[in-house]
Structure 1
């Protein structure tokens, strides 16, 4: 690591249409343990979609700083390079993004409920637009494996 940059040359990043300023790499989905581990890369000085975590999670910042914003846009927290945070599910709706460089963070989601939901994506009125859970992350992981095998 040099100047806060993590060497991600061996990580293949993927994107989802409609989700700006975000790339991902699914590390693992374990249905039996009810867990999803995923690397996220958030664009520098940008924000991702408004959302709520529906599973307990841990984050570890590998590059840059992770900035968390309240639903009204107010900066709530800055998690610097190397920070580790453990949080419960059902926290306040928020957006996240990078600081002056792209941020890379490991999100380890644990104890996912029986409905399988990990994230609720919200509109500006805090209505759920779409959910991402174990089935969706399993599908992303399967597509990722097929892409990497090609």
Structure 2
């Protein structure tokens, strides 16, 4: 299967982020986040991500079911071996089950802004992997709760 970028990849209208403050984590280049909500009772963690254009983030695996809505640009998904797996253009709404294939995400010709709603979160949201697919870090409800509280205090 051949995956091609959309013909209008450079014409996505900018998503207005003037009321959103972006945050980053050390050792996680090419991605910024804004946590919208951590709802432990309903097992939901909602996050806006901004992925740099023409870049890829750390290799990871989603440990909770999730929904993505692409608000700006096109989200590119790469297999662990670097092969382009999928392109989600602006406006795409995709539901995905947990424990899928390890992958990296990144932007196409412009920065991507995507809404991720992580659902049925038991504890972990993401496993961060090295190139040999070993887990080197995890991000779970506790970490996102702490990041959310720090975000609210800033």
TM-score, normalized by the shorter chain, greater than 0.5: yes
1:140 aligns with 2:114: no
- 1:58-103 Cα distance to aligned partner (Å, 9 max, x none): 0000000000000000000000000000000000000000010000
Asked if the contact 2:12–2:90 (Cα under 8 Å) also holds between the matched residues in 1, the reply is no
Counterparts of 2:76 and 2:12, CA distance in 1: 18
- Measure, in 2, the Cα distance between the counterparts of 1:86 and 1:33: 18
Uncovered stretches (5+) of structure 1, i.e. residues with no partner: none
Q: How many Å separate the matches in 1 of 2:74 and 2:53?
A: 9
> Does residue 43 of the first structure (1) align with residue 52 of the second (2)?
yes
Count the aligned residue pairs: 144
Structure 2: unaligned runs, 5 residues or longer = 1-10
Q: CA RMSD in A?
A: 0.8
After TM superposition, what 4+ stretches of structure 1 lie above 4 angstroms from structure 2? none
The Cα shift of 1:12 comes to: 0.3
Alpha-carbon offset, residue 5 of structure 1:
1.1
- Tell me the distance in 2 between the aligned counterparts of 1:121 and 1:79: 22
